[in-house]
Amino acid sequence: MLVALGEQKITTLDDFADLAGDELVELLAGSDKSGVSLELEEANELIMRARAHWFADEATGSAKSD
């Protein structure tokens, strides 16, 4: 999966988090090397986990500004 992502220039956590679930499924399905079958629900869950730090940063930032 990492090789397939890297070939598409998805190299950082934020790059991954910027994907939509259907994009991730399509990206991995189109890669002969990945050998990974990913359902849309799983893809969405992985992406939301990758976005978690965005929300943590937001919560920390609002607490600091109070």
pLDDT 10s digits, 16-62: 999 999 999 999 987 765 566 789 999 999 999 999 999 886 776 65
Residue 11 lies in a domain: yes
pTM reported for the whole predicted model: 0.75
Q: What is the pLDDT of residue 40?
A: 95
Quote the domain boundaries for residue 44.
2-57
Query: In this predicted structure, what is the pLDDT of residue 35?
Result: 64
The three state secondary structure string of the chain is CHHHHHHCCCCCHHHHHCCCHHHHHHHHHCCCCCCCCCCHHHHHHHHHHHHHHHHHHHHHHHHHHC
- The pLDDT assigned to 36 comes to 65
Q: Let me know if residue 18 belongs to a domain.
A: yes
User: What contacts 29, CB < 8 A, 6 or more positions away?
Assistant: 37, 38
Q: Number of folded domains in the chain?
A: 1
